[in-house]
Amino acid sequence: GDIEAGKAKSAICAACHGSEGVATSPIYPNLNGQNEGYLSSALKAYKAGQRKGGLSSIMVSQAVALSDTDIEDLAAYFSSLK
Amino acid sequence: GDIEAGKAKSAICAACHGSEGVATSPIYPNLNGQNEGYLSSALKAYKAGQRKGGLSSIMVSQAVALSDTDIEDLAAYFSSLK
């Protein structure tokens, strides 16, 4: 994915995942440095409704608004953060 | 959770998540330093069958064998790894 495009797309994520991918609460995952392949598979699972329970509903509502390109870009961006 | 008990329980996790929580492949998530609250909610979601698709089946088969105490201990252990 494209890191710059991902960064532009990531503004809304910062509310829970922090501006540098370090979550604002321990109930949300840190994303900084997480594996790109895993991030995109997790986002696609939320988008496809394959994840339920807990706080998944927040993520489903976010993921359904993302194209596959957005997902690849966001995955590239967050995994690029150390 | 109890970090030592989590460490003892974590041997089987190393195959995919690495001996220090750094995944052995980019399709698996790194767990080192991940938030304890998130780790336990994710494990509980796998255990409750609330996560499907992708490689979730591997995790479901692992999580169903864990007690809630095991889950808390594993979450404490992996989040303690920097």
Question: pLDDT, tens digit, for every residue of B44-80?
Answer: 999 999 999 878 999 999 999 999 999 999 999 999 9
DSSP letter for each residue of chain B: --HHHHHHHGGGGHHHH-TTS--SSTTS---TT--HHHHHHHHHHHHTT-B-STTHHHHHHHHTT--HHHHHHHHHHHHH--
Q: What is the CATH number of the domain that holds A63?
A: 1.10.760.10
List the domain range (segments joined by +) for residue B31: 3-80
Euclidean distance between CA atoms A43 and B52, whole angstroms? 13
The percent of residues in chain B predicted with pLDDT above 90, rounded, is 94
The verdict on a CB contact (< 8 Å) between B54 and A50 is: yes
Asked if B38 lies within 8 A of A51 by C-beta distance, the reply is no
| Beta-ladder partners of A51 | B51
Query: What pLDDT does residue B53 have?
Result: 84
pLDDT beyond 90 at A23: yes
- Residue A1 to chain B, least CA–CA distance (Å): 14
* Cβ-contact A32, A78 below 8 angstroms: yes
Both tokens of residue A2?
């494209």
| pLDDT-above-90 percentage for chain A | 94
A42 at B interface, C-beta within 8 A: yes
pLDDT at B2 over 90: yes
B2 Cβ under 8 Å from any chain A Cβ: no
Structure tokens at A69: 């390109």
Tally the domains of chain A: 1
What is the interface pTM, i.e. ipTM, of the complex?
A: 0.88
In chain A, what residues touch B1 (CB-CB under 8 Å)? none
